[in-house]
């Protein structure tokens, strides 16, 4: 009996220790890269309110849906969207198979390194570049292409991997929400299949919780194997009015919290915060020209104008990146 | 010290008891409503194989994706799809607001109780009935309509609630897979928003894990509230070739197991089982005219012909409902 009791005690002790370290963890600051102040407090107040059992503002775990824009909200979008930089790299890679690109715009300018010239055709040029680089292969072949690129490509300004150009305070926010039984989703104008190969590793967000723009795919049997082939045709544009539509299609519940940084997120913020009960909207305002970039109303990338005007009346939290964030990127901490 | 040790012991004892009841649960049959035999064994063999740590067939938890058809696979689809019965009930409910339906087909026949006559126009008639009853309201208004209907409507043959017309062996299978860290999804030709209001309660499948057919929605601001309005226009038809397309769009991973009952599931079964590694395909064959219905190659509802022919060569398990299932519905056990 003595021996048995003793092993019981060891077990009990480890059990108690596990609980006490849990208690310590709960007391620790869940958002250490956020400076103390009203921005950080607004997040903590919201989470505390909706998770408080028995409170009239309590939201059951299954309905704690939080949606995050990606470009400019979870990772940097300057000097250009990463997916466009990916497409440009792909054009260079594929050029030997396309001799006609030497004289055909927008490819000719791109191959000469003249990105501005290539973009002269606006959305039409972007569309041609995207379709030439994102379609024609199976979904699994495209996944491999993205994985290979993201593992090796470097950001043109910082020379860091793109997966390091993510915002440390937002990583903490994602983890904090999930620790409080929120389900976190990406809802981005970017390509859904460009994000899925790496979002779980980088953000802890699995493929099925990524919503984004997409091109059409077609089911085919190739050499006795069932595959999906990516077609050069837009299926869904997940931006502005498209974001609530995409949220409803993929998630099927109105989020109780939404996080964005541009006018492309306005409708998602309106949709999340005009439901009943306690709601939370947050805009990341890029105010730090030194550590990151400063831009808003006059920028074509991450254009933030109407949503910034709408924030006060809607009670949305506006993050002043320069004031509110102790660090921007994870690599600053190393 | 004595007191402390004593409370430690109580804690330790409850801890050990919790573990021992867990061990008992693991030894218990996870599929009690399935008769022993090769069908049941094929399921258990598959799950054991892909969850065995260190085995070459091991699949990490995040990639254990299982997709289930709904009509005829998880719940009964005879004498008619439940969603069509819902639509017919809605036509009757809405008739006072549509005096023109008295003379307009397919509504006129429906209102006289002549379902066969109403269906004479084929898919065109079905489309008109669906759009008249599924569009024109907000997504949240439609959710309420579905919830109210499913809470009160009764199956025309058994007089049971529709949520009781589900297959007890399949409920056990869903639970067994989730206990083994599978993510379970519905992939149905039925309407995504017709299923989501009740799938979590009935199947343990949350809204974001439901894939289905959909109509378009439009973002609007109504009385300062952001809403999505359902439009009478098809967005996506999640059947046959559409199922792998829908799976890729919503889940972003190729399933390792798929469960269906008709030719509408053929491409999903092909897609799930032609990937690398150990895979599992299963067809529910409706062979029990006494306890449920018996139908396959000649039925328009749940038409099973090509997929049944394809099963042996692909190594798919075919459930003989009459032989393999001890009970069909949960209410039989009460």
pLDDT band for position B3 (50/70/90)?
very low
- In a mutagenesis test of the B interface, which of A184, A191, A208 is the best target, namely the one with the most B β-carbons within 10 Å? A208
Is residue B24 scored above 70 in pLDDT? no
Q: Which of B196, B218, B252 sits opposite A252 (nearest CB)?
A: B196
Q: Which of A13, A214, A221 sits opposite B249 (nearest CB)?
A: A214
Q: How far is B94 from chain A (nearest CA, A)?
A: 25
Is residue B1 scored above 80 in pLDDT? no
**Contact across the interface for A248 and B139, Cβ inside 8 Å:** yes
Nearest residue on chain B to A201, alpha-carbon basis:
B62
With contact defined as beta carbons under 8 Å apart, do A307 and A265 qualify? yes
**pLDDT, average across residues B286-303:** 97
Is residue B4 scored above 50 in pLDDT? no
pLDDT in tens, B77-115: 999 999 999 999 999 999 999 999 999 999 999 999 898
**Contact across the interface for B208 and A252, Cβ inside 8 Å:** yes
Give the 3-state secondary structure of residue B146: helix
Give the 3-state secondary structure of residue B254: coil
Nearest residue on chain A to B242, alpha-carbon basis:
A219
**Contact across the interface for B244 and A225, Cβ inside 8 Å:** no
d(CA A182, CA B284): 36
**pLDDT, average across residues B182-197:** 98
Q: Which of A15, A241, A250 sits opposite B250 (nearest CB)?
A: A250
Q: Which long-range contacts (CB under 8 A, 24 or more apart) does A287-294 make?
A: A287/A320, A287/A321, A287/A322, A287/A323, A288/A321, A288/A322, A288/A325, A288/A328, A290/A322, A291/A321, A291/A322, A291/A328, A292/A76, A292/A78, A292/A321, A292/A328, A293/A76, A293/A78, A293/A79, A294/A322
What are the backbone dihedrals phi and psi of residue B267, each rounded to the nearest 5 degrees, phi first? -70, -35
Peptide bond into A261 cis (omega under 30): no
**Contact across the interface for B16 and A5, Cβ inside 8 Å:** no
pLDDT value of position A26: 54
Contacts of B254 in chain A (CB under 8 A): 140
Nearest residue on chain B to A139, alpha-carbon basis:
B248
Question: What global pTM score does this model have?
Answer: 0.91
**Contact across the interface for B224 and A250, Cβ inside 8 Å:** no
Within B254-305, strands assigned E span: 257-260, 280-287, 294-295
How does pLDDT run along chain A (334 residues), one tens digit per residue?
A: 344 444 445 555 455 445 555 555 456 899 999 999 999 999 999 999 999 999 999 999 999 999 999 999 999 999 999 999 999 999 999 999 999 999 999 999 999 989 889 988 888 898 899 999 999 999 999 999 999 999 999 999 999 999 999 999 999 999 999 999 999 999 999 999 999 999 999 999 999 999 999 999 999 999 999 999 999 999 999 999 999 999 999 999 999 999 999 999 999 999 999 978 999 999 999 999 999 999 999 999 999 999 999 999 999 999 999 999 999 999 997 7
DSSP B182: P
- In a mutagenesis test of the B interface, which of A147, A252, A313 is the best target, namely the one with the most B β-carbons within 10 Å? A252
pLDDT value of position B12: 53
Nearest residue on chain B to A10, alpha-carbon basis:
B12
Q: Which long-range contacts (CB under 8 A, 24 or more apart) does B114-117 make?
A: B115/B80, B115/B88
- In a mutagenesis test of the B interface, which of A235, A240, A249 is the best target, namely the one with the most B β-carbons within 10 Å? A249
Q: At what angle do helices A123-134 and A82-94 cross, to 10 degrees?
A: 60
Q: How far is A160 from chain B (nearest CA, A)?
A: 27
**Contact across the interface for A219 and B245, Cβ inside 8 Å:** yes
- In a mutagenesis test of the A interface, which of B208, B209, B315 is the best target, namely the one with the most A β-carbons within 10 Å? B208
Q: Which of A224, A245, A267 sits opposite B217 (nearest CB)?
A: A245
CA distances from B92 to B49, B95, B98, B159 (A): 51, 5, 10, 19
d(CA A180, CA A267): 26
Handedness of CA A52, A56, A60, A64 (dihedral sign): negative
pLDDT band for position B14 (50/70/90)?
low
**pLDDT, average across residues B112-120:** 89
Contacts of A241 in chain B (CB under 8 A): 218-219
**Contact across the interface for A253 and B208, Cβ inside 8 Å:** yes
Nearest residue on chain A to B223, alpha-carbon basis:
A274
For A301, counting Cβ atoms within 10 Å of its Cβ (0-12 exposed, 13-18 middle, 19+ buried), the class is middle
pLDDT in tens, B229-276: 999 999 999 999 999 999 999 999 999 999 999 999 999 999 999 978
Q: How many helices and strands in chain B, by DSSP H and E?
A: 13, 8
Q: Which of B224, B245, B270 sits opposite A217 (nearest CB)?
A: B245
Contacts of B244 in chain A (CB under 8 A): 219, 226, 228
Nearest residue on chain A to B314, alpha-carbon basis:
A224
pLDDT value of position A327: 97
**Contact across the interface for A8 and B5, Cβ inside 8 Å:** no
d(CA A80, CA A72): 10
**Contact across the interface for B207 and A252, Cβ inside 8 Å:** yes
Q: Which of B217, B245, B252 sits opposite A210 (nearest CB)?
A: B252
With contact defined as beta carbons under 8 Å apart, do B34 and B40 qualify? yes
Q: Which uninterrupted H or E stretch holds A214?
A: strand A210-222
Q: How far is A69 from chain B (nearest CA, A)?
A: 17
pLDDT value of position A27: 67
d(CA A219, CA A224): 12
pLDDT in tens, B54-68: 999 999 999 999 999
Nearest residue on chain A to B212, alpha-carbon basis:
A249
């Amino acid at each position: 009996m003595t021996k048995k009791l003793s092993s019981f005690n060891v077990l009990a002790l480890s059990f108690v220790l596990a609980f006490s370290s849990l208690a310590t963890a709960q007391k620790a600051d869940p958002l250490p890269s956020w400076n103390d102040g009203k921005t950080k407090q607004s997040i903590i107040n919201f989470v505390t309110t909706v998770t408080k059992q028995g409170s009239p503002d309590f939201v059951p775990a299954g309905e704690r849906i939080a949606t995050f824009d990606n470009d400019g909200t979870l990772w940097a979008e300057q000097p250009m969207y990463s997916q466009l930089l990916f497409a440009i790299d792909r054009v260079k890679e594929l050029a030997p198979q396309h001799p006609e690109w030497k004289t055909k715009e927008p490819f000719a300018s791109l191959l000469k390194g003249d990105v501005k010239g290539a973009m002269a055709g606006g959305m039409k040029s972007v569309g041609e570049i995207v379709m030439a680089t994102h379609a024609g292969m199976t979904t699994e072949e495209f996944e491999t292409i993205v994985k290979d690129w993201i593992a090796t490509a470097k950001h043109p300004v910082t020379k860091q991997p793109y997966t390091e150009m993510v915002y440390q305070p937002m990583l903490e926010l994602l983890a904090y929400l999930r620790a409080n039984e929120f389900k976190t989703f990406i809802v981005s104008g970017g390509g859904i299949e460009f994000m899925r190969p790496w979002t779980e590793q980088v953000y802890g967000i699995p493929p099925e919780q990524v919503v984004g723009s997409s091109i059409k795919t077609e089911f085919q049997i190739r050499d006795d194997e069932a595959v999906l082939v990516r077609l050069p045709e837009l299926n869904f544009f997940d931006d502005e009015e498209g974001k609530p539509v995409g949220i409803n299609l993929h998630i099927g519940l109105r989020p109780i919290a939404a996080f964005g940084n541009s006018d492309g997120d306005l409708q998602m913020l309106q949709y999340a915060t005009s439901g009943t009960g306690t709601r939370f909207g947050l805009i990341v305002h890029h105010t730090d020209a030194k550590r990151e970039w400063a831009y808003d109303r006059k920028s074509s990338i991450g254009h933030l104008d109407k949503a910034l005007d709408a924030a006060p009346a809607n009670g949305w939290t506006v993050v002043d990146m320069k004031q509110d964030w102790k660090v921007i990127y994870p690599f600053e901490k190393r």
